[in-house]
Amino acid sequence: MDGACLILELDHILRSDPLIDEVGLVPSVSADALPLEQAPQSADSASAYDPSAFWVGDHKLAVALVAARAMYSAALLTLKRARTAGPTSTGDAELLQATQVIVIVNPEHYTAWNTRKRVLLRSPAPEGAASVELQLSALALSVHPKSEATWSHRRWVLRNLLQIAKSPQCSVLEKESALAQRCAELRPMNYRAWSHRAWAAQWMPPGQLRAELQASRVWAEQHVTDNCGLHYRRRLILLVLQRSPGDEVTATSPGLLVEQERAWLTPLLDYYQGREALWLHRRFFAQINFAGAGAEPQATVKQPESDPKASTSPSQASDTGGTFKGFPVPFPLWSAEQTLVDEVDSGSVVASGIMASAAESCAREEAFVTEVVERLRSDTNLGL
């Protein structure tokens, strides 16, 4: 297979159907070897591409592995030639075609992405070029949903777009949320996707932020083990709290927001007692409360991760945590309570006026943990 020809064909395919949203690298694209839901409707018979290398249908593109290999080698050679011979030796179009193949096959190729950035910067029509970049990076993510280089390239393009835009770009940001969610579904615990989404949330106007908050709640209820999703929710809430008090989103006071979060978590924790991601989430809000979420939450909130005591091993737990002697308490449960105790003992709880509410909050957390443990114990006695 001739790599250089295939590169041109691929470019043609992507240009002729800008709605292609997924690429699959498959062992073979012949009709009987391609695993498809429905019988593949054969593409236009006079197709402009090699039917043994590509398959297009339903806005999805399959590339045979042999073809991908041939294209990748050819594209690497082109890029290398362009870099050794100087910037003007190779045309921009050719560079874009070559790097396009490279990033679909290997999205962690920083040089390819950066070459594309340079070309974009000297492009006469930056807006059109930017949308091409967004499509391409979405394609690369459909093959490799955790690729950091791709997410970062996407942010670079978006930042340029959003900075020149005069009004809030709700639809652009909505697409980012949808893409991040899709990637989080493709690969669980997809930290890259969630932090990209959190980055995009910064640009959102208040109304959209509120919708985002609601959506993340639904997602979190269905994915209680995915700490990345819950972490995203914490970042969203901090974002809401940071906005000025007169802001539409914070029409509900910060205290109420934290209270709502706690009320939402209680039944979840009750049902999924051993899920640490949920306990981390609850601990975070207990600590926000201690610090008095009013004035400057971001400055006073103590990150759960930074607390070395929170990582005490479970074996030590049974030695020192006298409360639950002889009973195998799930570790997350224990550590949630221990942190609370530490907070009060060490006096790290913010002093003076807030102290009363902190102690109150602490007592409430303790009561809750005791209640959960009690129920767990009675369930065990029943043999469940």
Binding site for other proteins (CB under 8 A): 22, 24, 26-28, 32-37, 58, 60, 62, 142, 185-188, 221-225, 271-272, 275, 382-384
The half-sphere exposure of 152 on its side-chain side, counting CA atoms within 13 A, is: 10
Residue with Cβ nearer other proteins (4 or 272) = 272
Hey, is 61 helix, strand or coil? Answer: strand
Residue with Cβ nearer other proteins (176 or 276) = 276
**54 sits in which H/E element:** strand 54-57
Report which residue type is found at 259: E
Residue with Cβ nearer other proteins (229 or 304) = 229
- Tokens encoding 383: 């043999």
Residue with Cβ nearer other proteins (221 or 248) = 221
Question: Which residue, chain included where needed, has tokens 């709502």?
Answer: 260
Residue with Cβ nearer other proteins (97 or 142) = 142
Is 84 exposed, middle or buried (CB count within 10 Å of its CB: 0-12, 13-18, 19+)?
Answer: exposed
> Residues near 344 by Cβ (< 8 Å), separated by ≥ 6?
358, 359, 362
The sign of the torsion formed by the CA atoms of 209, 210, 211, 213 equals: positive
Kindly state the smallest distance separating residue 266's Cβ from other proteins, in Å: 13
Residue with Cβ nearer other proteins (14 or 209) = 14
- Tokens encoding 368: 């809750």
Kindly state the smallest distance separating residue 268's Cβ from other proteins, in Å: 9
Q: Say how far apart CA 347 and CA 338 lie, in whole Å.
A: 14
Residue with Cβ nearer other proteins (295 or 384) = 384
Q: Say how far apart CA 272 and CA 261 lie, in whole Å.
A: 16
Residue with Cβ nearer other proteins (105 or 349) = 105
> Residues near 323 by Cβ (< 8 Å), separated by ≥ 6?
337, 370
Kindly state the smallest distance separating residue 328's Cβ from other proteins, in Å: 17
Measure CA 169 to chain center: 20
Kindly state the smallest distance separating residue 27's Cβ from other proteins, in Å: 5
Residue with Cβ nearer other proteins (26 or 344) = 26
Kindly state the smallest distance separating residue 26's Cβ from other proteins, in Å: 5
**Sheet of strand 54-57: strand arrangement:** 22-26, 60-64, 54-57
- Tokens encoding 38: 């429905």
Kindly state the smallest distance separating residue 65's Cβ from other proteins, in Å: 9
Neighbours of 45 (CB within 10 A): 6
Kindly state the smallest distance separating residue 231's Cβ from other proteins, in Å: 16
Kindly state the smallest distance separating residue 276's Cβ from other proteins, in Å: 12
Phi and psi at 234, nearest 5°, equal -65, -40
Contact status, residue 68 vs residue 140, Cβ threshold 8 Å: no
- Tokens encoding 170: 């709700």
- Tokens encoding 275: 């899920």
Residue with Cβ nearer other proteins (124 or 383) = 383
Kindly state the smallest distance separating residue 257's Cβ from other proteins, in Å: 24
The half-sphere exposure of 66 on its side-chain side, counting CA atoms within 13 A, is: 10
Kindly state the smallest distance separating residue 277's Cβ from other proteins, in Å: 10
Crossing angle of the two packed helices 170-186 and 126-143, in degrees rounded to 10 = 20
